[in-house]
């Protein structure tokens, strides 16, 4: 067994500094749990002249990644530099050199995780990625270990703090989308270019990782049905509230005998659902398993120390395996082939907000469209418009297939303006 385990840290931004801080402050505890010191030997940075407040000796910093990847004394590579191409190349090189790897990179794991895990298996190395999804929430380890004996049938998650913060402000403080986004940007929850968040790409990448792991298969980014939050219209949240719903930007996936469906989109949840009460920048993942039933993990989805906590937990797992000589023994090969559900087997309740002419026969024509699609309506509400010659019609269906929903949308476009429409999750109305 080693007395000290050497770490090469790629990146010293928000998360990298958090990792260094935890390793320094908790070293005595970690030493007790591991039977060895976990020491940062080298750190990759972009600018050597930049002033940094850190307990690390200046000599550990380098701008040359090869000094770290080619150092035979370094046992574990920790990739927290972000980006895709350079990070993926670094992970691949580290594995090929026989080093254990910890990454927080959701983009790389969503795009190339399957290939990298195959490489890790071939090289008999560990590849840990807990921090790639939901920051400080231990969702990866829960799926891998805590629920390993169960069969997961569905999971839903608020896995993007920026969009959840925006929707919370819109609902709780009646902010407009633009004002809520500006507030999220000011507080640092949103990037200067927030498109990956608000368009759903960030959450989609996380759902690729979670779904692949939950169902032991390979889910690709192209398999995720993605709809961003820019389509949310003024008044949608208030109308949803009248029906007892809260809107969330939700990642969801389900698996049954028909296959797998994965989506990221704004959905309506019953106010009583546990995810409906997750506010601001917090994340949560709601899991259903055959044996465990329903369970939820909740916590901070981002931030220096929460995310670094997950990274350091992975470092500890790699250290333990090194001490026991069992690195790369887990195996990552998927058990099942990917089978995607057709739209005809993707069922949900649907909420429609329509603008119609306020005249005799229009309502009958619209309800007839639903009837012809065998789409049963459970609620109908009509509001007069400000002009007087139009009205808003709010419709809520019982469970119908996505194919039925798409057929209804196609027929409605001829006689009504479709202001908005949303899937309803979290209830099992017949």
User: What residues are labeled active site?
Assistant: 206
Report the alpha-carbon distance of residue 98 to residue 127 in Å, rounded: 11
Report the alpha-carbon distance of residue 281 to residue 274 in Å, rounded: 16
End-to-end CA separation in angstroms for the chain: 60
- Across 11-164, the runs of DSSP E, i.e. the strands, are 37-44, 61-62, 76-79, 100-103, 127-128, 152-158
Q: Name the token pair of 390.
A: 């139009």
Place of tokens 């007087």: 388
Cβ–Cβ < 8 Å for 67, 92: no
Report the alpha-carbon distance of residue 88 to residue 132 in Å, rounded: 14
Report the alpha-carbon distance of residue 121 to residue 330 in Å, rounded: 8
**In terms of Cα–Cα distance, which of 373, 377, 379, 376 is closest to 344?**
373
C-alpha to C-alpha distances, 125 to 139, 273, 293, 355, nearest whole angstrom: 22, 41, 34, 58
Cβ–Cβ < 8 Å for 346, 262: no
């Amino acid at each position: 067994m080693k007395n000290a385990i050497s770490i090469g840290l790629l990146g010293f931004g928000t998360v990298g500094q958090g990792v260094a801080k935890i390793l320094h402050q908790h070293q005595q505890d970690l030493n007790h749990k591991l039977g060895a010191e976990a020491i940062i030997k080298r750190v990759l940075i972009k600018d050597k002249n930049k002033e940094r407040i850190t307990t690390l000796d200046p000599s550990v910093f380098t701008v040359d990644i090869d000094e770290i990847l080619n150092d035979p004394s370094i046992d574990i590579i920790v990739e927290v530099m972000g980006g895709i191409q350079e990070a993926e190349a670094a992970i691949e090189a580290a594995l090929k050199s026989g080093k254990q790897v910890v990454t927080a990179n959701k983009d790389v794991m969503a795009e190339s995780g399957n290939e990298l895990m195959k490489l890790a298996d071939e090289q008999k190395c560990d590849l840990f990625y807990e921090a790639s999804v939901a920051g400080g929430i231990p969702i990866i380890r829960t799926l891998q270990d805590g629920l390993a004996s169960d069969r997961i049938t569905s999971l839903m998650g608020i896995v993007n703090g920026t969009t959840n913060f925006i929707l919370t402000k819109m609902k709780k403080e009646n902010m407009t989308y633009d004002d809520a986004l500006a507030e999220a940007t000011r507080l640092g929850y949103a990037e200067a270019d927030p498109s990956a968040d608000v368009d759903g790409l960030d959450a989609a990448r996380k759902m690729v990782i979670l779904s692949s792991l939950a169902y032991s298969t390979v889910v690709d980014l192209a398999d995720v049905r993605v709809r961003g939050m820019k389509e949310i219209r003024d008044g949608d949240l208030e109308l949803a509230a009248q029906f007892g719903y809260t809107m969330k930007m939700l990642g969801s996936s389900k698996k049954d005998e028909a296959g797998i469906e994965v989506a990221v989109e704004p959905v309506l949840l019953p106010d009583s659902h546990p995810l409906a009460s997750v506010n601001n920048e917090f994340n949560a993942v709601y899991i259903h398993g055959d044996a465990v039933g329903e369970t939820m993990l909740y916590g901070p989805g981002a931030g220096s120390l929460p995310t670094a906590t997950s990274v350091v937990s992975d470092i500890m797992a790699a250290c333990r395996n090194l001490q026991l000589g069992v690195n790369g023994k887990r195996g990552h090969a998927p058990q099942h082939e990917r089978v995607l559900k057709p739209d005809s087997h993707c069922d949900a309740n649907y909420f429609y907000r329509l603008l119609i002419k306020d005249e005799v026969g229009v309502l009958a024509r619209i309800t007839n469209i639903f009837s012809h699609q065998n789409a049963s309506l459970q609620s109908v509400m009509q509001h007069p418009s400000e002009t007087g010659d139009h009205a808003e019609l709010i419709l809520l269906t019982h469970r119908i297939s996505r194919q039925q929903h798409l057929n209804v949308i196609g027929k409605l476009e001829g006689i009504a303006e479709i202001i908005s429409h949303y899937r309803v999750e979290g209830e099992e109305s017949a």
